[in-house]
Structure 1
Amino acid sequence: MKSGNLLTLTLGALLLAGIPISSAAVTPNSNIRLPTDGGDEWPSPPWDCCDKLKQSPLRIWPPKYKCLDEVDHCAAACEDCKRADGGGYVCRDWYWGVNPGPKCTGGGGEEAVRSRPWKCCDDAVCTRSMPPTCSCQDKVRSCSGGCGKCVQVESQPPRFRCLDRYHGFPGPKCHNQPA
């Protein structure tokens, strides 16, 4: 009986305050965006690739990143490019998103994407870090050319697994591609 009295008092207070009860339930101009509204892709980071990635100590989602790499010139998307002590430049922008991009292992971002040791992976095991470090547990007919350590895991028919680890997202799934 007490909950009925509380409901009556709440509705009475809304009416006395001049708030129509129907508008409390439905708001036509909501600023909440749903994934179906479009724009659900994350923006790209303001650098092509990064080896010295710093994550913000704040526990927020999505996380914030800053690239501390010293480069000859900042990427075009960088808004806060500062001259570093070593003579190069550092992009001081913070990137707020889920994928801060690949490492610069040996060159630009394009080359780092190609350095993934497998073409595709259905059974990826990744750390929870951002970006993650992944390994692929798929058993395949033969390892791709980018794999450094390929071991045979079954003999009849022969199946192999690439034991390399990759710092970045595991890439596309193979389920629609021949292994």
Structure 2
Amino acid sequence: MMSVPPHPSKPIEEHVSLSGSGSAAVSTTGPSWWTVGNAVHASRRSLRMSQAELAEAAGISRRTVNNYEMGRVSGPGIPAGLVRVVAHLGWPEGQLEQLLGAAPERTPADDYRTVTDFADACVTAGADSRVRDIFLQTAQLLLEQAGVQVPVTEARGVADHPDGPGPKPDIP
């Protein structure tokens, strides 16, 4: 992701709609739209497109593309035209929201795979596999207490490990 210098603008309050997860009220400062504008400009230039070409592809006016690149966005939410622009530029889903500081909220289940990878990496680096097993059992207990279901393809038990089960965690 590119680094953009700060822009001297006043804070703004906006309502950003997040795809697939409802909406979240986000308080941002002016640099967010300015940062998005600079990223749109850089993406367009890297594709060797003119503002007019991008505008035509996104079904908006060249002036609107120019406004987006200058960080001038009015009204609440993310304009549909800007969503079409970044899609045409090939941005991955969520990048626009991330630049605005409104990345979709993560859940404990999203991080479970990272926890298991971390535990396995520690064993590979020399940690006791029984401690890994306790760690994974504790992670599964935390998920259960939070009422979070982990897909069966991601859930692992100590029987899945070649070293077999270790001691049970002493957790009430």
In the superposition, the TM-score normalised over structure 1's length comes to 0.24
TM-score in terms of structure 2 length:
0.25
Structure exhibiting the larger radius of gyration computed from Cα positions: 1
Which one has the bigger strand percentage?
A: 1
Could you say which structure has the greater relative contact order, defined with CA pairs below 8 angstroms and 6 or more residues apart? Answer: 2
